[in-house]
Amino acid sequence: MTIPTTTPITTSVTTPTTPLKILTHEEFCTANTPDPCGIVIFGASGDLAYRRLIPSLYNLYKDKFLNSSFFVLGFARTAKNDNNFREEIINLLGEEKDALEFAKCFYYESGDYNSAASYECLVNRLQEIKKNNNNNMAKDKIIFYLATPPNLVETIIFHLSQVKLIYPDEGDLDKQSKWIKVVFEKPFGSDLESARKLNKYIHKHLRENQIYRIDHYLGKDSVQNILMFRFSNSIFEPLWNRQYIDHIQISALETLGVEHRAGYYDQTGALRDMFQNHMFQLLALIAMGPPARFDANQYRDEKIKVIKALRPIPKGKFHEFVVRGQYANGVINEQAVVGFRDEKNISPTSNTETFSAMKLFIDNWRWEGVPFYLRTGKRIGRAATEIVIQFKNIPHSIFYPLKADQLCPNLLSFQIGENEGISLGFEAKHPGPKLCMAFVNLNFCYSNIFGTRPLPLAYERLLLDCMLGEQILFSREDMVELSWEYITPILKDWENSPPLSNFPNYLAGSFGPEEANTLIERDGRKWILS
């Protein structure tokens, strides 16, 4: 994340509806417009490019963060030319003037990821674009974005290095007139061994400061806000520990199914797709200690301490701490939807989990004994990405006959998906002559306060940071490996278990399998969503 050099907040908020005065848009853009550069997107005809990358680049373009000589060269197997690609982009973005201009920055080269000749063509294509590009400063600053399945990553890196499009950089990338960066989409590897192998491999060709392992959750304003909330206010941090907190829940629930990604998802499952990256990043952010400075390495060091402190699940006890599920047909938003095994391109006997829940402990002074319950799933009855912190009950009730445990404990919730915001739930006097209480919420809603929703796609911030050479919101090598280290034994246990006779075990439109409720209810707690 790029922190503006000028203090951004120039007026203080006195009422909840006063919008904050931040740097003017022009001031912010001037401070943050990256040098002219080009992006080569591998997998340019895929879902990620169309759903996230191109629209995010367009948002940056409209917001004037991209220099006029910016260009994108799409590379994929599908045969098409520059014009077809541009037409698709206009169809995607609409025919407004900006979109027509933006589409002119796009070029396309089709090729085979395994063929050396395709990379020779790529070299020639880049030279041609640079020649045609009036402001040819962009020619020496290139981002290679690998929006491809993980099994192609080593092949692409190998060929790019063969044709010398990538090479390890020796100096300070920010100060150079020439730089090369590579963005790696998740999942980074498919288990600990493959992630280590991949890290080792890419380090032969690139330095860590050229490597951007993306986790789009870190680009969400509402996720970055966890850090601001915790470390730029003084009243919450003293409570942020085992003395005051009963437990923490993290839910990432989607109504969506596998959409157009059946092939990928059937090989991946919820644990690899969501837990190893997004869920563990949220866990680290909510549980970490304060770094001394908001600097890429110090900040990432603190997050890593959390993952290092995760209590390993004893061998043979995975079923006590981890639950998996798969959806059967059901109803979502009043529409009938098919079960996972009946989705197009999914094996009818698939054992892939579309839901997973986990109970974790962090063995350190701050969190000893505080359970963290995490769950994620597809085709759930309600879309919600939320972190809920449940504080402890009051020690003693003065409101006879109500006992302490009959009063609701305070709840602090971070809404990350829809309706981004924060709410604090507490007991209040219900109006009227009787001594009667109600549980009420104090709400902060992004769109009400700031008059705008956070960046819609989250990739905008990450793409911009990558262009600016800021790695704070990208996963460092050790974070990726440590999270795989935790997840891999679970995956292995599942792989070595006989096929599940109870799959599918939840209905589309429900809140996941019954076992997920048991996981939390046997501790006397229940799942909460605000």
Alpha carbons 39 and 42: distance in angstroms, whole number: 10
Residue 190 vs 385, nearer CB to ligand BG6:
385
Active-site positions read: 278
DSSP string, 95-162: S-HHHHHHHTTEEEEE--TT-HHHHHHHHHHHHHHHHH-SSGGGGGEEEEEE-S-GGGHHHHHHHHHH
Helix axes 116-132, 153-162, angle to 10 degrees: 60
Chain position whose Cβ is nearest to ligand BG6: 273
Residue nearer to ligand BG6 on the CB measure, 144 or 217: 217
Site for ligand BG6 contains 385 (CB under 6 A): yes
User: By CB neighbour count within 10 A (0-12 exposed, 13-18 middle, 19+ buried), where does 9 fall?
Assistant: exposed
**Nearest-CA neighbor of 71 among 97, 46, 45, 106?**
106
For residues 23 and 480, which CB has a smaller minimum distance to ligand BG6 in the complex? 480
Contacts of 197-200 spanning 24+ positions with Cβ under 8 A:
198/150, 198/153, 198/154, 199/477, 199/480, 199/481
Contact string 82-101 vs ligand BG6 (x = CB under 6 A): --------------------
Instruction: Output the smallest distance, CB 274 to ligand BG6, in A.
Output: 6
Distance, in Å, from the CA atom of 61 to the CA atom of 460, rounded to the nearest integer, reads: 10
Count of residues touching ligand BG6 (by CB under 6 A): 5
Distance CA 224, CA 452 (A): 16
Strands 506-507 and 327-328: parallel
What does the alpha-carbon distance between residue 414 and residue 224 come to, in Å, rounded to a whole number? Answer: 11
The reply to whether 191 sits near ligand BG6 by the rule CB under 6 A is no
| φ, ψ dihedrals at 12, nearest 5° | -95, 155
Q: What mask, x for binding ligand BG6 by CB under 6 A, covers residues 137 to 156?
A: --------------------
Instruction: Give the nearer residue to ligand BG6 in terms of CB position, either 52 or 125.
Output: 52
For the chain, the helix, strand and coil percentages under 3-state DSSP, each to the nearest 5 = 40, 20, 40
Q: Which of residues 24-43 bind ligand BG6 (CB under 6 A)?
A: none
DSSP 18-70: SPP--S-HHHHHHHHPPPS-EEEEETTTSHHIIIIIHHHHHHHHHTT-S-TT-
Q: Closest separation between CB of residue 510 and ligand BG6, Å?
A: 18
Pairing outcome for strands 384-391 and 327-328: unpaired
Q: Phi and psi for 439 in degrees, rounded to 5?
A: -90, 120
Q: Closest Cα partner for 245 from 421, 368, 390, 115? A: 390
Choice between 377 and 513, CB closer to ligand BG6: 377
Closest approach, Cβ 409 to ligand BG6, in A, equals: 27
273/485 with CB nearer ligand BG6:
273
Q: Which is nearer to ligand BG6, 111 or 150 (CB)?
A: 150
For ligand BG6, which residue of 246, 273, 386, 477 counts as binding (CB under 6 A)?
273
Token reading at 423: 């709410």
Q: 144: closest CA among 214, 47, 191?
A: 214
- Residue 241 C-beta: closest distance to ligand BG6, Å: 28
Residue 254 in contact with ligand BG6, rule: CB under 6 A: yes
Name which of 276 and 423 has its Cβ closer to ligand BG6: 276
Q: Which two tokens stand for residue 345?
A: 């391109």
In whole angstroms, the minimum distance from the beta carbon of 273 to ligand BG6 comes to 5
Residues 330-369 binding ligand BG6 (CB under 6 A) are: none
**Residue 68 CA to its chain's centroid (Å):** 29
Backbone φ and ψ of 341, nearest 5°:
-65, -15
Closest CA to 250 of 215, 219, 226: 226
The nearest distance, CB 254 to ligand BG6, in angstroms, is 5
Closest CA to 515 of 349, 332, 411, 359: 359
Please say which residue, 111 or 219, places its beta carbon nearer to ligand BG6.
219
Q: Which of 149, 289, 290, 417 binds ligand BG6 (CB under 6 A)?
A: 417
Q: Smallest distance from the beta carbon of 433 to ligand BG6, in angstroms?
A: 47
For ligand BG6, the closer of residues 51 and 64 by Cβ is: 51
CB of 416 to ligand BG6, least distance (A): 8
Q: Which of residues 386-415 bind ligand BG6 (CB under 6 A)?
A: none
Task: Kindly state the smallest distance separating residue 277's Cβ from ligand BG6, in Å.
Answer: 7
> How many CA atoms lie within 13 Å of 311's alpha carbon, on the beta-carbon side?
18
485 binds ligand BG6 (CB under 6 A): no
Show the tokens assigned to 169: 């950089």
Query: Nearest distance from residue 256's CB to ligand BG6, in Å?
Result: 6
Contact residues: ligand BG6, CB under 6 A: 254, 256, 273, 385, 417
